[in-house]
Amino acid sequence: MAPSNALRSEREKKIKALLTFADSLSTRLTSSPFDATLATDLQAQITSLPLLASTALNAKRNELDKVGTELWNTSTRLKREESQEGSGKQVLCLLRAFAFLLLESAAAGLKRKGATGADGRDEGAVVRLMKVALKSSRVCLEAGMVDVCAKVMERAATLELELVGEKETETDPESDEASRKLRVEYMVLRSALAWRQGRMDIAEHMFSKAELSGHQLDPATAESLSDLLYEIGKDQLKHGRYEAAVKWLERAHEVLGDHELERLSADAGELRLSIMQSLVQSLMKLNDIPEDSDARQRAWQLVNLMDIDYGEKMIVSLLKLELLSSGDTIDCDQYYGVLLRMIRSVVLTETNLKTIMHHVYKLKSQSNTTACKILDDLIRIRLFGADNQDWVEKATITRTWITTKDPNAEDMFEGLRDIFDEVSRHTKTTFSAPATHAAQTLIWKQIESTYSQNEYQSSEAWCALAVHDLFDKAGESNKAKIARKMILCALARQDWEAAGDAFAQMSEFGKAEAMTRYIMYKVSLRSGDAELATQCLDIVCQQSTKDATLLYACVLDAQQTGDKRQAVVALQKVLAKYDYGAPAGVDLPALLRCTVRLLSPLLVENGKINQDVAEELSKVFEGAAAKATTSKRRPINPALEHFTPVEFEWFSKISYNLALKHCTEIHPEYLTRILGACMKFILLVRDQKISEKEDEQQMTLRLLFCDFLSACAYVVLARAEDNLQASAQRYLSVRYHTNNFMKELSDYLEKADISDNVREDLISKHFQLIKFSLEASLKLSDWDSMDALFDKCFIYHDPKHYATLADLVLTIHSHMLKRKLPATYLDRILRVLQVIIDKAWRNDSSGNPAPNGSIRKLARWIRCLFQLAMGFDEKLALNCLTQAIAIAEKRKGTAERFPSLELEWLVATAWNHTVDLYCMNEDEKCGTWADLAMELAGAAEDGGALQNTLIGNRSGMQWEKADK
Is the model's pLDDT at 114 over the cut of 50? no
Is the model's pLDDT at 901 over the cut of 50? yes
CATH code of domain 216-322: 1.20.58
Residue pair 381/343 in contact by the 8 Å Cβ criterion: yes
Instruction: Give the mean pLDDT of 97-112.
Output: 74
Predicted confidence (pLDDT) per residue in 689-702, tens digit: 655 656 778 888 89
What's the pLDDT score for residue 86? 53
What's the pLDDT score for residue 107? 79
- Give the domain ranges of the chain: 1-109+123-164+173-214, 216-322
What's the pLDDT score for residue 270? 81
What's the pLDDT score for residue 259? 67
Instruction: Give the mean pLDDT of 198-209.
Output: 81
Residue pair 524/530 in contact by the 8 Å Cβ criterion: yes
The neighbouring-strand residues paired with 120 are: 111
Q: How far apart (Å, rounded) are the C-alpha atoms in residues 254 and 276?
A: 11
What's the pLDDT score for residue 83? 53
List the one residue out of 413, 414, 536, 421 whose CA is nearest residue 468: 421
DSSP state of 428: S
Is the model's pLDDT at 586 over the cut of 50? no
Cα 282 to the center of its chain, rounded Å: 44
Range scoring the smallest mean pLDDT among 26-30, 364-368, 491-495, 935-939 = 26-30
List the one residue out of 509, 517, 601, 501 whose CA is nearest residue 554: 517
What's the pLDDT score for residue 845? 63
Cα 327 to the center of its chain, rounded Å: 40
Predicted confidence (pLDDT) per residue in 229-255, tens digit: 888 888 888 888 888 888 888 888 888
Q: How far apart (Å, rounded) are the C-alpha atoms in residues 649 and 691?
A: 10
Q: How far apart (Å, rounded) are the C-alpha atoms in residues 516 and 527?
A: 16
Instruction: Give the mean pLDDT of 845-864.
Output: 72
pLDDT, the chain, mean = 82
Which residues does 858 contact at the CB level (< 8 Å), separation at least 6?
837, 840, 841, 844, 887
Query: 167-176, 327-336, 653-662: which has the highest mean pLDDT?
Result: 653-662
Percentage of residues of the chain with pLDDT beyond 70: 87
Confidence band, pLDDT 50/70/90 cuts, at residue 631: confident
List the one residue out of 404, 379, 478, 399 whose CA is nearest residue 436: 478
Is the model's pLDDT at 911 over the cut of 90? yes
Predicted confidence (pLDDT) per residue in 747-805, tens digit: 888 777 788 888 888 888 888 888 888 888 888 888 888 888 888 877 777 777 777 88
Is the model's pLDDT at 872 over the cut of 70? yes
Q: What is the pTM of this model?
A: 0.53
Percentage of residues of the chain with pLDDT beyond 90: 19
What's the pLDDT score for residue 718? 92
What's the pLDDT score for residue 849? 45
What's the pLDDT score for residue 112? 43
What's the pLDDT score for residue 441? 92
Is the model's pLDDT at 381 over the cut of 50? yes
Is the model's pLDDT at 2 over the cut of 60? no
What's the pLDDT score for residue 211? 66
What's the pLDDT score for residue 432? 92
3-state secondary structure 321-356: HHHHHCCCCCCHHHHHHHHHHHHHHCCCCHHHHHHH
List the one residue out of 377, 456, 367, 361 whose CA is nearest residue 408: 367
697 or 448, which is more confident: 448
Instruction: Give the mean pLDDT of 529-539.
Output: 85
List the one residue out of 428, 444, 426, 447 whose CA is nearest residue 436: 444
What's the pLDDT score for residue 674? 93
Residue pair 25/71 in contact by the 8 Å Cβ criterion: yes
Range scoring the smallest mean pLDDT among 62-66, 642-646, 706-710, 774-778 = 642-646
